[in-house]
């Protein structure tokens, strides 16, 4: 089982049985999933766990009760409860929620939408936006232009099919499909006709122009006095969205500019605009724009910044303050196609990658703004900070940092110090307690210092460390003696019983080979010092 997120949520069995049953809260989550992309509720998994208790059994009448109560408490919501058995032996209910074709609500008239791992209420004017976006969802699969499948652009179709079959993101069973089957699998064709998505991606120029909302991109360069000094347009519809990003990156001469960064006696060249960032932002603009609304995509280049302006507001549930964590796909099938073609990052990780690249280079994070019918992303046009660039590179060589840790370290390296509240806002977190996964190990390693307490707590990178790069000595656990490793494992399990091998490995040190840790746990189980419940990935260890 995976962690909670856009398509999955865990619920305790107590929430649907006994005196603590709360079917209203469950109905809220079902409505939220139905208004998003559908999802699953795993009922019978307690907070903090990923599997049900080994002896847990589901009452025979509970699935029918759930189906009946959700029908009474919701409108336009379809659910399918199924009793499942986990590898641990415990039973749980998988409540599958279908995506609703129309707006779903609770029976008392409340609306919710699944955003990330939370069910957010939809209020006021947002209800009308939700209704409008729900009506726009089928746009990709419509065949109203009546373009026969045989009239697809042969070169574009061949290129897409070849790229899909060469992609390691596409399952082998999908690659084995015939050309027509593969087109229908990705909803590019249906019933012998090209869908709107098919016309957009593999159609002829004339048919793409007939869509009316096929993307047009304009690049406008201005000087310090805001005078227009250069303009490029891609407006003849000869290129599909899958080809536009390459064309823009290739044709804009300013993307070839670079800065020279001193590196001792040598100088290295660093691009003025990182290719990964530009490509990801352009693809986001093409994939997440509303294709039921006309409007051009603008790239406005100023002496101090690059602005990418996209028509339409952000998808409902996404705001300029949660883009780092929210994951909502406005054009689901186009997003899936671009992901499988390796043109964009996986769902919910695009902005993480952008923040990671920019902050690791000592550049400012992007600034997102939203208007009534536009979204603007601004990138500062600045040279990389040589000191921060060297610091992040050295830290990455010394420690195995996660993407979150590199982002947090980049933010702190660029600032003299940030309070917990400000850092929480910069990372778009809802509470100070959520800073732990971002900063915990950085503080343990001595890369980040802290002072003060509670709301006055400040985090900072020691200036001398940033300047000298003389990191604290790293204690290696690779050569730790067997008896010390055994004591370390037993101490960890004493504090955290019923832990998986992954959790143990994370806490005692990733420097220790996982195979060695697995062997140590097997020896402790055989010696009767540690108990093991479950098998393989579901195995949980505790001290006897």
pLDDT at 270: 77
- Residues 169, 49 share a domain: no
Rounded to two decimals, the pTM is 0.72
What's the pLDDT tens digit per position in 192-234?
Answer: 999 999 999 999 999 999 998 899 999 999 999 999 999 999 9
Residue 457 lies inside a defined structural domain of this protein:
yes
User: Which of 157, 183, 210 lies at the terminal end of a domain, its last residue?
Assistant: 210
The mean pLDDT value for 255-284 works out to 82
Residue 82 banded pLDDT, cuts 50, 70, 90:
very high
Residue 437 banded pLDDT, cuts 50, 70, 90:
confident
The answer to whether residue 480 scores a pLDDT higher than 60 is: no
Residue 85: CATH number of its domain: 3.30.950.30
Q: What is the mean pLDDT of the chain?
A: 86
Residue 132 lies inside a defined structural domain of this protein:
no
- Residues 411, 357 share a domain: no
How many of the other CB atoms lie within 10 Å of CB of 45?
24
- Residues 365, 222 share a domain: yes
pLDDT at 536: 77
Number of domains in the chain: 5
The answer to whether residue 473 scores a pLDDT higher than 60 is: no
What's the pLDDT tens digit per position in 484-525?
Answer: 778 888 888 888 888 888 888 888 777 677 888 888 888 888
- Residues 442, 346 share a domain: no
Residue 513 lies inside a defined structural domain of this protein:
yes
- Residues 355, 407 share a domain: no
Q: How far is CA 498 from CA 12, 462, 494, in A?
A: 18, 38, 10
Residue 88 lies inside a defined structural domain of this protein:
yes
pLDDT at 178: 93
What's the pLDDT tens digit per position in 33-72?
Answer: 998 888 999 999 876 677 888 889 999 999 999 999 999 9
Residue 474 lies inside a defined structural domain of this protein:
no
- Residues 248, 176 share a domain: no
What is the span of the domain harbouring residue 526? Answer: 482-543
Residue 235 lies inside a defined structural domain of this protein:
yes
pLDDT at 1: 39
What's the pLDDT tens digit per position in 330-347?
Answer: 888 998 999 999 998 765
- Residues 456, 342 share a domain: no
The answer to whether residue 382 scores a pLDDT higher than 90 is: no
How many whole angstroms separate alpha carbon 235 and alpha carbon 62?
58
The answer to whether residue 395 scores a pLDDT higher than 70 is: yes
| DSSP string for 95-159 | EEEPPPSS--EETTS-EEEEETTEEEEE-TTHHHHHHHHHHHGGGGG--TT--BGGGS-HHHHHH
What's the pLDDT tens digit per position in 164-182?
Answer: 999 999 999 999 999 999 9
What's the pLDDT tens digit per position in 230-268?
Answer: 999 999 999 999 999 999 999 999 998 888 766 666 677
Three-state SS string across 107-119, please? CCCCEEEEECCEE
Residue 325 banded pLDDT, cuts 50, 70, 90:
confident
């Amino acid at each position: 089982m995976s962690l909670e997120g856009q398509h999955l949520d865990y619920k305790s069995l107590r929430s649907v049985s006994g005196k603590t049953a709360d079917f209203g809260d469950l109905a809220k989550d079902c409505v939220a999933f139905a208004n998003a992309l559908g999802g699953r509720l795993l009922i019978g998994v307690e907070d903090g766990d990923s599997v049900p208790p080994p002896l847990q059994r589901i009452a025979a009448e509970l699935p029918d009760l759930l189906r009946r109560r959700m029908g009474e408490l919701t409108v336009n919501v379809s659910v399918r409860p199924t009793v499942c058995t986990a590898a641990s032996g415990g039973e749980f209910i998988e409540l599958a929620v279908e995506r609703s074709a129309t707006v779903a609500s609770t029976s008392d008239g409340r609306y919710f939408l699944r955003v990330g791992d939370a069910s957010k209420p939809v209020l006021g004017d947002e209800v009308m936006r939700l209704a409008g976006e729900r009506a726009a969802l089928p746009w990709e699969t419509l065949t109203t232009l009546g373009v026969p499948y045989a009239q697809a652009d042969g070169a574009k179709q061949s290129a897409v099919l070849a790229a899909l079959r060469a992609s390691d993101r596409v399952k082998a069973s999908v690659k084995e499909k015939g050309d027509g089957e593969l087109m229908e699998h990705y909803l590019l064709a249906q019933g012998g006709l090209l869908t709107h998505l098919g016309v957009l991606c593999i159609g002829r120029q004339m048919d793409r122009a007939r869509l009316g909302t096929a993307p047009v991109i304009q690049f406008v360069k201005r000087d310090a006095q805001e005078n227009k000094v250069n303009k490029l347009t891609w407006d003849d519809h000869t290129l599909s969205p899958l080809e536009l990003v390459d064309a823009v990156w290739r044709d804009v001469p300013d993307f070839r500019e670079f800065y020279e960064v001193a590196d001792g006696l040598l100088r290295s060249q660093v691009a003025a605009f990182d290719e990964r960032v530009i490509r990801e932002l352009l693809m986001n603009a093409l994939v997440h724009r509303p294709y039921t609304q006309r409007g051009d995509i603008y790239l406005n280049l100023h002496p101090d910044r690059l602005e990418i302006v996209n028509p339409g507001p952000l998808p409902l549930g996404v705001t300029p303050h949660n883009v780092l964590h929210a994951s909502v796909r406005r054009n689901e099938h186009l997003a899936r196609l671009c992901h499988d073609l390796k043109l964009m990052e996986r769902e919910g990780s695009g902005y993480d990658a952008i923040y990671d690249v920019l902050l690791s280079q000592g550049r400012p994070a992007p600034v997102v703004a939203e208007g009534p019918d536009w979204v603007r992303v601004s990138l500062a046009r600045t040279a990389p900070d040589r000191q921060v660039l060297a610091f992040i590179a050295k830290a990455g060589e010394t420690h195995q940092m996660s993407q979150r840790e590199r982002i947090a370290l980049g933010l702190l390296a660029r600032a003299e110090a940030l309070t917990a509240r400000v850092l929480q806002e910069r990372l778009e977190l809802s509470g100070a307690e959520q800073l732990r996964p971002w900063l915990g190990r950085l503080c343990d390693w001595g890369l980040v210092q802290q002072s003060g307490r509670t709301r006055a707590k400040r985090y900072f990178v020691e200036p001398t460390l940033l300047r000298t790069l003389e990191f604290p000595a790293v204690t290696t656990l690779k050569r730790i003696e067997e008896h010390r490793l055994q004591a370390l494992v037993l101490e960890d399990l004493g504090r955290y019983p019923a832990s998986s091998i992954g959790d143990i490995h994370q806490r005692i040190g990733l420097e220790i080979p996982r195979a060695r840790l697995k062997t140590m746990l097997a020896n402790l189980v055989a010696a009767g010092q540690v108990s093991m419940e479950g098998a393989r990935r579901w195995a949980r260890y505790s001290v006897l």
